[in-house]
Chains A and B, each alone.
Chain A
Amino acid sequence: MDRPGIYERLNDIFRDIFDDPGIEVHPELSSRDVEVWDSFNHINMMVATEMAFGVKFKASEVEGLKNVGELVNLIETKLGLQRQ
């Protein structure tokens, strides 16, 4: 799956979890920008992401994430997709 594909799936997950059909994910998006992105929904979002991509995050990997861009990097690492 390429990077736009990952963003597309995250978009669906964000719309479902945060109950907002107008949400558009982008690399800088963070919990400060979404009112209902609280700790409860954060866990729901992370678990839904794990299920959607068939990956498992460690608590230490997730704790430092600052925004969606970093989450996408993590997903790519987990999928073995990260070039560089």
Chain B
Amino acid sequence: MHSAELYWLPEPAAFSNLVASAQAPETSPTERFALLHAASRLRLDFVQTMKLERCIARLGEAVSAPRLRVALIGDGTLQHMSPAISAGILRRGLVADMHVGSYGQWRQETINPSSTVHQFSPDIVIMWLNGENLAPGLPFGASRAEITAAIADRIAEIRGYWRKIRETSGSAIIQVLPLPLEPDVFGHAERTIGSAPGMTRRLAEAELSLAAEEEGVQIVDLAEAARHIGLDRIHDPALLHHAKQDITPAAAPWVGDQIARVAAAMRGRSKKVLVLDLDNTLWGGVIGDDGLDGILLGQGNGAGEAFCAFQRHLKQLLARGVVLAVSSKNDMEVAEAVFRDHPEMILRRNDIAAFEANWADKPQALRRIAAQLNLGLDSFVFFDDNPAERQLMRQELPMVDTPEVPVAPELYSRCLVDAGYFEAVALTEEDTQRAGQYAANAKRQRIESSATDLPSFLRDLQMTLSAGPFAEVDVPRITQLINKTNQFNLTTKRYSEEQVCALLNDPGAVTLSARVADRFGDNGLISVIIASRSEDVLDIDAWLMSCRVLGRSVENALLALLAKRAAEIGARYLRGRYIDSGRNGIVRGMYESFGFRRIDEGSGGETVWRLDLEDIKPEFPPYFNATTRSGEA
């Protein structure tokens, strides 16, 4: 397993058939995407990723899929990384249109606004520089001040290129850190002598990472990701010197997936829910047979300690916002008793947002969990030590990611990390509160089933809505919500952080963001509307909402507020569009239910709707106890 292969993905036996079916003339564009997506989620080697990329290029527009334009620039040979990056992006549900910059031309291509890179108009630019660009070579014995100044120069230069890319193409940026390839000169003292090559590199990396955080650039640190398998698995010194390849083609699929997961995370494609089996997954043995004192968990036994270590990792994932659920073939009381009564359990019952312990098949259990959490199955990972359960899950619910689980529990955490399901682009306040929010949601669901009717349920929640134009402090969360919301999203238009920032000072833009709190807790910032005025029409470009607050009439409240804003600026009509993304069926009828009239039908599942505010005055629903409106313009 310690090689640079995608060991968490199943064997690629079906690869050739999937690719052949995708190219068959009778296959529909949507089926083609499903087949290619399935092919990308196998344990591919670099030759297979090349075949996949060629197949996608041949099919072109005959594949119906959301797309991502990716430019790869840098000063080594990068062409061979393109198939692997595009396969990794496809693995996460997007078809990548790739452009690889010319060898050694990245500076010119960045500065010249009409270069082929800018003409390509990338959504994401991957900047892959080698070591000489980052860490200055200094005479040994250089003073601390000289070292700091030299590094600051390099960082300022790279920052300048980032800004140039932003200004010209508006693209998001991924910066790949150079591999630590310089030989040691001082041995272990490389870490303490300031002018040693290893030391300058570390200092420069730290400075570059700080700059990246300030600029909203994502960093990919391949050496760090490869620390368990070793640099030799991804880098071949002979290929560096003979072909200027930092990465050997043999390891391209592994490295490409590392980069792809970050690119996909920037587009909201990270997974949200981890569904766990119990027996031999969270503890050793079978609780129904072995009993509380018979299962392996905790000190005194190697495997028992390994299961505890895995639970600690899960607890950390929970704390940063990954939703945990359980699907186990067990009796509910027996399974829950372990969480309540076993002294070594790290995870508690409250940590599990949805708990399915019964004897029904697991695909059914996952469907129920998805319904209960209001999250799409394509944001689920299913982790189960039993190969038969995994097989059934892949067959019945192919949209769920089901990794091959290592036989040894010592390797469970590493498997989740290596697979890169939960790549984060930022940590927001909402992330750290999510666990509590889902637990509160479970309580809300209990009232819902006890309340006699919906209006009394909604009044019972004692909701507070606070809505107003975008505030600068909310920009990271607004961007995150825009890019990760798939279901309640009328147009699925994505905005980069720069584009959201630009709206703050755009006099023609009308923006609205909303928070909802209720008696169980704060749901945080959960809805966003972006509109622009043209004459007497207010055009709604984006309208989306977290499914956490579905069915609470938040959208009705926002419509009323939007209508009020329209009236204030002298617009008579609201105009909105619904663009079918294949995942946003729940809002297909929204405009119609609000009383909008359909005025046009575009191509590709798009409909256009208009509301005449002289005919209909949207009413503010009576369920919100208080309405504070921050940042009123």
- Contact assessment for A39 and B243 in the assembled complex, using a CB-CB cutoff below 8 Å: yes
CB distance from A23 to the nearest CB of B (A): 14
- How far, in whole Å, are A5 and B239 apart by their CA atoms in the complex? 28
Which residues 64-118 of B sit at the A interface, judged by CB distance below 8 A?
Answer: 77, 79-80
List which B38-56 residues lie within 8 A (CB) of chain A. Answer: 45-47, 50-51, 54
Quick check: is B198 within 8 A (CB to CB) of the other chain?
A: no
Which bracket fits the contact residues of B?
A: 10 to 19
The smallest beta-carbon distance between B608 and chain A, in angstroms, is: 44
Among the listed stretches B244-252, B358-366, B508-516, which one makes contact with chain A, having 4 or more residues with CB under 8 Å of it? Answer: B244-252
Do A44 and B242 touch (CB < 8 A)? no
Residue interface mask B213-246, A partner, CB < 8 A = 1: 0000000000000000000000000110111010
A51 partner residues in chain B, CB cutoff 8 A = 45, 250
Interface size of A by CB at 8 A reads: 14
B50 near A16: Cβ-Cβ < 8 Å: yes
Report the nearest A residue to B45, measured CB to CB. A51
Digitize A1-29: 1 where CB-to-B-CB distance is under 8 Å, 0 elsewhere. 00000000000010011010000000000
B45 contacts across to A, CB distance below 8 A: 51
Does chain B have a CB within 8 A of A48? yes
Indicate whether A44 sits within 8 Å of B238 (C-beta atoms), given known contacts A19-B54, A50-B250. no
CB-based contact B51/A44 at 8 Å: no
| Chain B nearest Cβ from A13, distance in angstroms | 7
- Docked pose: A17 CA to B248 CA in angstroms: 16
Overall SS of chain B's interface:
helix
How many angstroms from the CA of A17 to the CA of B48 in the assembled complex? 9
Query: Which chain A residue lies CB-closest to B245?
Result: A43
Query: B48's closest neighbor in chain A, by CB?
Result: A16
Asked whether A44 lies within 8 Å of B50 as measured between CB atoms, the reply is yes
Contacts of A17 in B (CB 8 A): 47, 50
Contacts of B241 in A (CB 8 A): 59
Q: A58-B238, A59-B238, A59-B242 are in contact. Are A44 and B80 (CB under 8 A)?
A: yes
Shortest Cβ distance from A51 into B: residue: B250
Given the known inter-chain contacts A40-B79, A58-B238, A59-B242, please indicate yes or no for A47 contacting B54, CB distance below 8 A.
Answer: no
Q: How far is the CA of A44 from the CA of B54 in the complex (A)?
A: 15
Q: Which residues of B contact A59 (CB under 8 A)?
A: 238, 241-242
Complex contact B243–A44 (CB within 8 A): no
Do B51 and A16 touch across chains, with their CB atoms under 8 A apart?
Answer: yes
Which residues of B sit under 8 angstroms from A16, Cβ to Cβ?
47, 50-51
| Cα separation A73 to B45 with both chains bound (whole Å) | 25
Chain A neighbourhood of B248, CB < 8 A = 47
Tell me the complex Cα distance, A13–B48, Å.
11
Q: Separation in Å of the A49 CB from the closest CB of chain B?
A: 11
Given contacts A19-B54, A50-B250, A51-B250, is CB(A44)–CB(B245) below 8 Å?
no
| Cβ contact within 8 Å between A47 and B249 | yes
Chain B 154-189 interface residues, beta-carbon cutoff 8 Å to A: none
Report the separation of the CA atoms of residues A58 and B236 in the bound assembly, to the nearest whole angstrom: 11
Whether B80 pairs with A40 at a CB distance below 8 angstroms is: yes
Task: Please tell me if the beta carbons of B238 and A43 are within 8 angstroms of each other in the complex.
Answer: no
Contact B80 A48 (CB under 8 A): no
Q: A44 — nearest CB in chain B belongs to which residue? A: B249
| Interfacial chain B residues near A13, Cβ < 8 Å | 47
Residues of A near B54 (CB, < 8 A) are: 19
Query: Chain B residues with Cβ under 8 A from A44's Cβ?
Result: 46-47, 50, 80, 249
Residues of B within 8 A of A50 (CB): 250
Closest beta carbon of chain A to B282's beta carbon, Å: 37
Binary interface encoding of chain A residues 36-69 relative to chain B, with 1 for a CB under 8 A from any of its CBs, else 0:
0001100110011011000000110000000000
B50: chain A residues within 8 A (beta carbon): 16-17, 44
Within 8 A of A (CB), among B243-280: 243, 245, 248-250
- Assess whether A43 is in contact with B47, with CB atoms less than 8 Å apart: no
Return chain B residues, CB-CB under 8 Å to A43.
Answer: 80, 239, 242-243, 245, 249
Q: How far is the CB of A39 from chain B (nearest CB, A)?
A: 7
A42, closest chain B residue (CB)? B243
In the bound complex, CA of A45 to CA of B28 (Å): 33
Contacts of B51 in A (CB 8 A): 16
**Cβ-defined contact, A48 with B47, below 8 A:** yes
With a cutoff of 8 Å between Cβ atoms, the chain B residues found around residue A39 in the complex are: 243
Known: A16-B50, A16-B51, A39-B243. A47 touches B238 (CB 8 A): no
Nearest CB of A to B234, in Å: 13
Question: Can you name the residue of chain B whose Cβ is closest to the Cβ of A19?
Answer: B54
A58 to B239, CA, bound (A): 10
Looking at A16, A19, A44, A59, the one whose CB has the most chain B CB atoms below 10 A away is A44
A12 CB to nearest B CB, Å: 9
The smallest C-beta distance from B107 to any residue of chain A, in angstroms, reads 23
A15 CB, nearest partner CB in chain B, Å: 10
Docked Cα-Cα span, A39 to B77, in Å, equals 12
Q: Which residues of A contact B242 (CB under 8 A)?
A: 43, 59
Assembled-state Cα–Cα distance A67/B250 (Å): 23
* Cα A58 to Cα B238 with chains together (Å): 8
Cα distance, A16 to B243, chains bound together (Å): 21
Chain A residues in the interface with B (C-beta under 8 A): 13, 16-17, 19, 39-40, 43-44, 47-48, 50-51, 58-59
Could you tell me which B residues sit within 8 Å of A by CB distance? 45-47, 50-51, 54, 77, 79-80, 238-239, 241-243, 245, 248-250
Q: Which 9 A-B pairs have the closest CB atoms?
A: A47-B249, A59-B238, A16-B47, A43-B243, A48-B47, A47-B250, A59-B242, A44-B249, A51-B250
A-B contact pairs, 19 of them (CB 8 A): A13-B47, A16-B47, A17-B47, A19-B54, A40-B77, A40-B79, A40-B80, A43-B80, A43-B242, A43-B243, A43-B245, A43-B249, A44-B46, A44-B47, A44-B249, A48-B249, A59-B238, A59-B241, A59-B242
A sample of 14 more A-B contacts (CB under 8 A), given A40-B80, A43-B243, A48-B249, is A13-B47, A16-B51, A17-B50, A19-B54, A39-B243, A43-B80, A43-B239, A43-B242, A44-B46, A44-B47, A47-B46, A47-B239, A47-B249, A47-B250
